[in-house]
Every structure is written in structure tokens, then in C-alpha cells.
């Protein structure tokens, strides 16, 4: 329930990537992990990214479907899209249109709440089949604790749309305001009854001398409407957090399976990075798994996560 796509505007998608990001070393890695080239995008359009995602997913024996995420941009003081401060923009209508072509893909919308028509955009997203709303606060310049967002949160509750929001620091782009990833900023939407999914269980960075995961974990006892996804927890820089999550006492029904695709195809989640935790006997068979999706599931199962974690997202999002 956590898969990213991107585009360069080919085929009239409306998507774009900033020049700064396109000239970053990360750009070619992302293209390779999507299984495409820039020439192919120009020839076939940005929809090819979503088609390749669906094809790769279809080869999986363990994962039946995925939520594909749009990504709204930064907005200026007038509420208009600020292209100069937006690193990646993936429009809702593009993702809704393309995912509708494939039975194994679902639409995850993104709406910057500072847009003047944000509530109307939420209603349109729901009408187009969105199963959640995605935020990257550090990139989109969204403060989840801003009380001006109360009407937005109330609309999410009315529409029964969960909010999947990045918690913790963000390092996939060239710049970020990581103070906006503070998990304690999620108290406002939680207090208002929003179903909040904290991406990555806040496994990066710190605020006020306390690491973000430590700030998030106590909130699970306080808010029954708080969930977290386990995407990226087997990355090289995060494997230490998997055991910590398991030892935290967070109930399995509050954890949702996610991949943070395309990162599972970059090599960052190689089972070799989990060798110290799993040992050779459990690690070696994982290296032979061809599908990146299946390898990701089997790797997380090898840590001892309950099987229900891998079906919780469907139960929550496809009601």
C-alpha cells in the first residue's frame, strides 16, 4: 500500500521532476528501478511507468495488488502550484486514469491541504476511486499540526479516507524540511478522528534530541486510529529498527505491509543487509528469490512478522 511513480510530462501526463532532481545521481537509479529509460518515456508516455509496475507485480506469487501514489506539489501563498519549490509532481488524474487500466493497482491520491479547493479535490479523489490520501510533509511544505487544516481533516473523516503521511526524516529528494516529519505533529488529525498511517514507523531522524520512532510509538496506545506501514524497514540504513518495532508491543493489526516501491528494486533492501539479524540459514534462500516483491515479503516474514500484517492494508483500505 505504498508504491511511488513519477513522470517527466511525456504523453500529456502533467507530471514533472525538477531540474535539480533530474541532474541528481538519484535520477538514473530511479529510472533503472522502474525498469524504464527516458527514451522509452518520451516514446510511450509516462503511463509506461505504471504499466511496468503492474507487469512486475503480476510476476509476484505473494503480492496481489498495490496502491500507487500520486504526489501533489508545494503551493504558494495564493494556493497555486509552486513549480520552483516542487521537486516531483504526480497529478491525481494521471494516476487515477492509469491505475484504472490494471486490476492489480489501486489509486492513492495526494492533495496539498493549502490549496483553496482542497476539499473539492478530496471529493473528486474519492469519486475517482482513491483509497487513501498521501502526504510527504517535508517535501510538500505541509505542517500536520496547523489548525488551519481542521476542515481538511474533517473532510477526510467524512469521506472515510485514511491519511498516509511520511513520518520521520525524508532523504529521497534533494531538499527537505524535516521538522515537518515530527510524529507529534500528527496529534491534531488523530484527535479529530482521521485514520492516520505513519509511513515507515518514523524510522529516521530526530526532534528535540529524541528519535522520531520513540516519539511515535507511545501514540499507538493513545489513538486507536493510528496505524503504520513497514515500508523501507529492511533498507540498509533501517534494518536495526525492525527488531525494535517487534519489541515495542505495537499490535500486529496496527501494522500495514508496504514496499516503498521502487526502492525494493534499488538494492537498498538486499537480504544481505539483514544477515547479522537473520543468519546465513535464513538469508541465503532469500537471495534466490527473483521477484523483488516476493523477496520483500519473505524477508519481512523471516524477521517473524505475523502473516496478518500482510493483509491488514486490504482490510483497512478496501472496505
Report pLDDT digits (tens) over 91-135. Answer: 999 999 999 999 999 999 999 999 999 999 999 999 999 999 999
Look up the pTM and report it.
0.94
State CA 33 to chain mean position distance: 16
Residue with cell 515495542: 248
Q: How far apart are CA 95 and CA 135, in angstroms?
A: 15
pLDDT band at 66 (very low <50, low <70, confident <90, very high): very high
Helices and strands (DSSP H and E) totals, the chain = 16, 12
Domains for the chain: give ranges and CATH numbers: 3-269+306-317 (3.20.20.140)
**Per-residue model confidence (pLDDT) at position 204:** 84
Report pLDDT digits (tens) over 147-204. Answer: 999 999 999 999 999 999 999 888 777 677 888 999 999 999 999 999 999 999 998 8
Q: How far apart are CA 301 and CA 31, in angstroms?
A: 28
Q: What is the mean pLDDT of residues 280-294?
A: 95
Q: Which of 75, 65, 143, 78 is nearest to 106 (CA)?
A: 65
Residue 219 C-alpha cell reads as 501514540
pLDDT band at 48 (very low <50, low <70, confident <90, very high): very high
Q: Is the CB of residue 255 less than 8 Å from the CB of residue 229? A: yes
Amino acid at each position: 500500500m505504498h508504491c511511488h511513480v513519477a513522470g517527466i510530462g511525456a504523453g500529456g501526463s502533467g507530471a514533472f521532476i525538477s531540474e535539480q532532481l533530474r541532474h541528481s545521481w538519484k535520477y538514473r537509479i530511479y529510472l533503472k528501478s522502474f525498469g524504464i529509460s527516458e527514451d522509452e518515456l518520451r516514446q510511450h508516455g509516462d503511463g509506461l511507468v505504471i504499466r511496468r509496475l503492474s507487469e512486475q507485480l503480476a510476476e509476484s506469487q505473494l503480492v496481489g495488488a498495490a496502491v500507487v501514489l500520486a504526489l501533489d506539489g508545494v503551493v504558494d501563498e495564493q494556493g497555486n502550484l509552486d513549480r520552483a519549490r516542487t521537486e516531483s509532481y504526480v497529478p491525481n488524474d494521471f494516476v487515477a486514469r492509469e491505475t484504472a487500466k490494471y486490476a492489480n493497482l489501486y489509486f492513492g491520491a495526494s492533495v496539498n491541504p493549502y490549496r483553496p479547493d482542497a476539499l473539492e479535490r478530496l471529493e473528486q479523489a474519492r469519486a475517482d476511486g482513491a483509497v487513501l490520501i498521501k502526504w510527504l510533509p517535508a517535501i510538500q511544505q505541509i505542517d500536520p499540526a496547523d489548525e488551519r487544516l481542521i476542515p481538511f481533516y474533517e473532510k477526510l473523516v467524512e469521506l472515510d479516507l485514511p491519511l498516509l503521511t511520511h513520518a520521520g526524516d525524508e532523504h529521497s529528494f534533494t531538499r527537505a524540511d524535516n521538522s515537518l516529519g515530527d510524529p507529534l505533529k500528527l496529534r491534531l488529525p488523530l484527535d479529530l478522528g482521521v485514520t492516520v498511517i505513519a509511513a515507515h514507523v518514523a524510522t529516521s531522524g530526530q526532534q528535540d534530541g529524541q528519535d522520531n520512532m520513540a516519539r511515535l510509538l507511545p501514540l499507538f496506545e493513545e489513538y486507536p486510529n493510528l496505524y503504520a506501514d513497514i515500508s523501507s524497514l529492511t533498507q540498509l540504513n533501517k534494518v536495526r529498527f525492525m527488531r525494535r518495532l517487534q519489541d515495542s508491543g505495537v499490535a500486529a493489526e496496527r501494522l500495514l505491509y508496504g514496499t516503498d516501491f521502487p526502492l525494493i528494486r534499488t538494492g537498498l533492501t538486499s537480504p544481505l543487509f539483514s544477515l547479522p539479524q537473520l543468519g546465513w540459514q535464513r538469508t541465503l534462500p532469500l537471495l534466490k528469490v527473483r521477484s523483488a516483491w516476493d523477496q520483500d515479503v519473505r524477508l519481512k516474514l523471516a524477521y517473524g512478522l505475523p502473516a496478518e500484517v500482510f493483509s491488514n492494508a486490504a482490510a483497512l483500505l478496501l472496505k
